[in-house]
Amino acid sequence: MDSFTDDAEFITCDSPVNIALIKYWGKRNEKLILPLNSSISVTLSQDELRARTTVAVSRNFKEDKMWLNGREQSMKNARLQSVISNIKRLCRKRKSDNDQVNDKLQWKLHICSENNFPTAAGLASSAAGYACLVYALSKLYGVDGDLSKIARMGSGSACRSIYGGFVIWNKGEAEGGEDSKAEQIVSETHWPDLRVLILVVSDQTKHTGSTVGMQASVETSQLLQQRLQGVPKQLEKIKCAIQNKDFHSFAEITMRDSNQLHAVCMDTYPPVSYLTDISHHIIQLVHAINQDNNSNMVAYSFDAGPNAFLFLQEKDVPTVIDILHYFYPSSDPNFIRGLQVPAKRDVHVSAGNQVDYTVFSDLKVIPRALKFIIHTQPGPGPTVKDSDCGLLTKDGFPLNLNNANGKI
């Protein structure tokens, strides 16, 4: 095993998860990852959910290598190679007369990445992972500018994780995808009291990956074409709600889009079902809360998985947490993770100091239905970390080869 020499270089970066509010489902070009519709997402804080990646180059490395959550991965993945080659292409284009840079581009590359949340369980791990890789490689090779188009080549939704706050991925019209890129709508500080509760129903790998599900929907779903016609109007509506911090409208648009996506999945033949009985129970519970409140207190959104993303305002977190504890009791002392739950102030459900659960009589209590809940908020885009956060040893190999599950 060769050791790092003085010419070795390495960079460590963190990157966030993003959750789509108006989702993209289906591609017009599979190879270039060009979506059929534009989408809007919110980037989440890295304090609770993040990918961390260390990249290194050295003249002493014998071959390109990659490790994900402690396990070595194949470097033959087409999307991975596309990301690496596009970053190097930009580097050559901008620094073609720099012999030192050109030498570095010939050196072998070691990549080590870890998530602090379950991978491939419908929590946008590929978005965080590829955004992190692209950002880290850009710093390693001195590439700047719009990185979202390169991140898109790894995972479509990764382009949105390049930015913090609320982000739109414009689908673009160009055949080669030059205009298919992400842009920030507003920063993470725009809506300071917005909160997100992630209800983890399952931390297992989902049975049908997003790529496979999308392709099947494009080929067989009649509802998909109807959905595509309505997306532009919904995009404008939710942008307006975000800019005005209009939670009631924001909530309805978000829930309707989630419902529509999963209706398309069920219209796919054979159907693709990402939601479980617990997922449907959460949907019923949210609507019951909102009905009793006479306004939208909570909104749900489900990506390609059973886990729920609940959006709400900070003042309503204590009440909603109480309700979730009641319907999904757990003895786990770490059941609620992430941000501290604020002290209860005004109670908006069934006015009074306590929630009146008789209004939810149609819903049953389901112990241990949730693995855990993550309490988080909007956050910034990728960041460079100090060297002591690195995942590689001085020899260029992983510090940790045992963290194979990527769990919190």
Going residue by residue through the chain, which has 408 residues, state the pLDDT in tens, using 9 for 90 and above: 344 455 789 999 999 999 999 999 999 999 999 999 999 999 999 999 999 999 999 999 999 999 999 999 999 999 999 999 999 999 988 876 666 777 889 999 999 999 987 664 557 789 999 999 999 999 999 998 899 999 999 999 999 999 999 999 999 999 999 999 999 999 999 999 999 999 999 877 767 888 899 999 999 999 999 999 999 999 999 999 999 999 999 999 999 999 999 999 999 999 999 999 999 999 999 999 999 999 999 999 999 999 999 999 999 999 999 999 999 999 999 999 999 998 876 444 544 456 788 889 899 999 999 999 999 999 999 999 999 999 999 999 999 875 444 333
- The pLDDT value given to residue 23: 98
In a domain, 309, yes or no: yes
83 and 156 co-located in one domain: yes
Residues 161 and 227 in one domain: no
Q: Is position 395 within any domain?
A: no
Residues ≥6 apart with Cβ < 8 Å to 245? 190, 191
Q: Tokens standing for 87?
A: 């970053």
Q: H-helix or E-strand containing 338? A: strand 336-338
Cβ–Cβ < 8 Å for 18, 124: yes
Same domain? 345 vs 212: yes
Structure pTM? 0.92
- In this predicted structure, what is the pLDDT of residue 320? 97
pLDDT for the residue 145: 85
One domain for residues 74 and 178: yes
Residues 162 and 61 reside in one and the same domain: yes
* 263 CB-near residues (< 8 Å, 6+ apart): 223
Q: Are residues 145 and 244 in the same domain?
A: no
pLDDT score at 354: 67
Domain identity same for 151 and 251: no
Domain at 76, CATH number: 3.30.230.10
CATH of the domain at 312: 3.30.70.890
Whether omega for the bond prior to residue 270 falls within 30 degrees of 0, making it cis, is yes
Q: Is residue 3 part of a domain?
A: no
Residue 32 within a domain: yes
Residue the block writes with tokens 């001085």: 394
The answer to whether the CB of 119 falls within 8 A of the CB of 93 is no
- Could you tell me if 178 and 233 lie in one domain? no
Residue 154's domain comprises 9-188+382-389
Shared domain check, 364 and 328: yes
Number of domains in the chain: 2
Are residues 172 and 221 located together in one domain of the fold?
no
In a domain, residue 302? The reply is yes
Which backbone phi and psi does 274 adopt, to 5 degrees?
Answer: -100, -20
63/81 same-domain check: yes
Is 113 inside a domain boundary?
yes
Do 114 and 225 have their domain in common? Answer: no
Asked whether residue 2 is domain-assigned, the answer is: no
Residue 74 falls within a domain, yes or no? yes
